[in-house]
Amino acid sequence: MNMHTQPVGEMIREWRQRRRMSQLAFACEAEISARHLSFLETGRSRPSRDMLLHLAERLDMPYRERNALMLAAGFAPVYSETGLDNPDAAAARRAVDLVLAAHEPFPAIAVDRHWNLVAGNAALPLFLSGVPEELLQPPINVLRLSLHPQGLGGRIENLGEWCAHVFERLQRQIDLTNDEGLTALLAELKRFPGAAMAHEGFGSEFGGLIVPLKIRTEVGTLSFFTATTVFGTAVDITFSELVIETFMPGDEFTAATVRAMMA
């Protein structure tokens, strides 16, 4: 038996279970027999490269995990991982900067898969005023910064609601990727003082459909909600994992105040 076969079968089975699909249901989805899938998961059959790519696509595995699957099977990785500072990534990086700048005068950020800040637009300092310098040393983790009591955590009016939202979103990401770094980050965030209020539930603003971020400032409370943008056609690991978070004004006061501050 090839030493890579069993780990590959375990990976396929693990991802199927993450998707909450029975063996029979996934076999139907992948258009293969349940017997063949069982043989692949138990290591009795060795999958071809094309079969692995087919199963990974049906499981909607992130590109990073697809590469790991290929390597475990003894095949070369399929997807590149280009650094953001690589000259080959210049056009895509300009696209990121363009999206961020287009959202001004309101804040927008780009983060990597671990929620580390990659870039921000000219409005980002609105969130950073009064934050201690030690929390702004790179890499800046935006979730840590948002919940830290010396970061935004001490100024968020609906901290319990925001904590619950962050924890739920991060847990969904962990369930999908099983990423140890994200698991450690969630455990760290849950030790912050505001985490004890995370059970308070969501308020009625926006009809309870959207969780706002309400920040106390010297000029009053600013209310935002966020929208997420991803590269829908990315075939590179770095850019497939890049997320752009744009902060929309949640009320007319916030919109007018931010415009005035940025002007």
Residues 121 and 217 reside in one and the same domain: yes
Domain count, the chain: 2
Give the domain extent around 56.
5-72
Residues 104 and 218 reside in one and the same domain: yes
Residues 162 and 187 reside in one and the same domain: yes
Residues 135 and 170 reside in one and the same domain: yes
Stated pTM of the model: 0.85
CATH number of the domain where residue 211 is located: 3.30.450.180
Which of helix, strand or coil describes residue 234?
A: coil
Looking at 45, 72, 99, which one is the last position of a domain?
72
Residues 51 and 145 reside in one and the same domain: no
Residues 240 and 213 reside in one and the same domain: yes
**pLDDT tens-digit readout, 149-191:** 999 999 999 999 999 999 999 999 998 888 999 999 999 999 9
In a domain, 21, yes or no: yes
Q: For the chain, what percent of residues have pLDDT higher than 90?
A: 78
Residues 123 and 231 reside in one and the same domain: yes
Residues 147 and 252 reside in one and the same domain: yes
pLDDT of residue 178: 83
